[in-house]
Amino acid sequence: MNRIRIDRQPEVSRRKPTLLSILSGKGGVGKTVIAYNLAERTSALGLSTLLIDVDVTCGNLHILANVGTDVGLFEYLQGEKTLAESVITVSPKLSLLSSRGDMFELDEALSMKLITKLRNEAIAYDVIILDHPSGRSKATPILAYGSDLNLLTVIPELTSISDAYGLFRHLMAHDASLDCQLLINRAQDMEEADFLKKRFIAMCEQFASHTITCAGVLLEDKAIRRSVAAQRAASQINSQSKVVQSLTRLVRRLFSLPTEPKVRRATFPEQRINETVATADIRE
């Protein structure tokens, strides 16, 4: 097997954005909705975010974001347009570099070119999120090695677990120093997520001799399906939904953002007075 190497920190003095890849062994596990909603969360928390659809044949981030596709990744890679000319503004801090079913192949050379271009030209962004195609495309290892963090998405289904494990081994065989963490999606509850997490970690240690940690858990949530149907972010459908809260926590942890101050119990004088009265009432 050819070892593909890419310098994760090429000689770019102005290096800034954190490059995050969302990948999976099996399709339909939620990569695209996670990439979109994660990007919405990073941007909502003040990080200037570039979301890129590297699933060039089946790209559908533009559908989720409900934006046009006059320009995108193809024009950017061809050098026809600059990055600023190629992106579509989704919201003030969120830009999308889309693939609208572009019939070109993102091969090794183009993937390498993309990483190098981004490292040099996307310095205005704090975060870049790549939504990968499923499985082992030619682009997968190059883009994964070019990323600072890879989130391997898995759902509690045997085939998803098996394919995720296959992809993890494949990536580790190329470069064991790769930062790849598990992201559990569509778990029914934390018990199911915990069971999957422990099994997956044990499997990787026993058979692949590699340690993997778990970045986070997203539960099955109606807000996701409703948001896809409405072509909106889950936070716009239900900002209090479990999935939005989990994504917010994940972003805060990944980017070391301060946690939201806890809503303190009201300690207004009126309440103190009421409490005193209540206690007095009981004593009586």
Ligand X SMILES: Nc1ncnc2c1ncn2[C@@H]1O[C@H](COP(=O)(O)OP(=O)(O)O)[C@@H](O)[C@H]1O
**Can you give the binding site for ligand X, defined by CB under 6 A?**
24, 27-33, 134, 185-186, 218, 220-221, 224-225, 228, 243
CB atoms within 10 A of CB 172: 17
Partner whose footprint covers residue 149, from ligand X, Mg ion, none (CB < 5 to 8 Å by kind): none
Partner whose footprint covers residue 243, from Mg ion, ligand X, none (CB < 5 to 8 Å by kind): ligand X
Looking at the Cβ atoms of 194 and 220, the one nearer to ligand X is 220
Looking at the Cβ atoms of 175 and 194, the one nearer to ligand X is 194
Looking at the Cβ atoms of 126 and 163, the one nearer to ligand X is 163
Cα 171 to Cα 199: distance, rounded to the nearest angstrom: 19
Partner whose footprint covers residue 218, from ligand X, Mg ion, none (CB < 5 to 8 Å by kind): ligand X
Contacts 24+ apart (CB under 8 A), 186-192: 186/29, 186/30, 186/155, 186/156, 186/218, 186/219, 186/220, 187/155, 187/156, 187/217, 187/218, 187/219, 187/220, 188/156, 188/219, 188/220, 189/219, 190/217, 190/219, 192/156
Partner whose footprint covers residue 30, from Mg ion, ligand X, none (CB < 5 to 8 Å by kind): ligand X
Give the tokens for residue 224: 């996701």
Give the tokens for residue 125: 């962004």
The helix, strand and coil proportions of the chain, stated in percent and rounded to the nearest 5, come to: 45, 15, 40
Burial of 249 (0-12, 13-18, 19+ CB in 10 A): middle
Nearest position to Mg ion, beta carbon = 32
Bridge partners of 240?
none
Q: Please, what is the minimum distance in Å from the beta carbon of residue 272 to ligand X?
A: 43
Looking at the Cβ atoms of 115 and 224, the one nearer to ligand X is 224
Q: Please, what is the minimum distance in Å from the beta carbon of residue 147 to ligand X?
A: 17
Partner whose footprint covers residue 166, from ligand X, Mg ion, none (CB < 5 to 8 Å by kind): none
Looking at the Cβ atoms of 21 and 48, the one nearer to Mg ion is 21
Nearest position to ligand X, beta carbon = 30
Looking at the Cβ atoms of 26 and 197, the one nearer to Mg ion is 26
Site residues for Mg ion per CB under 5 A? 31-32
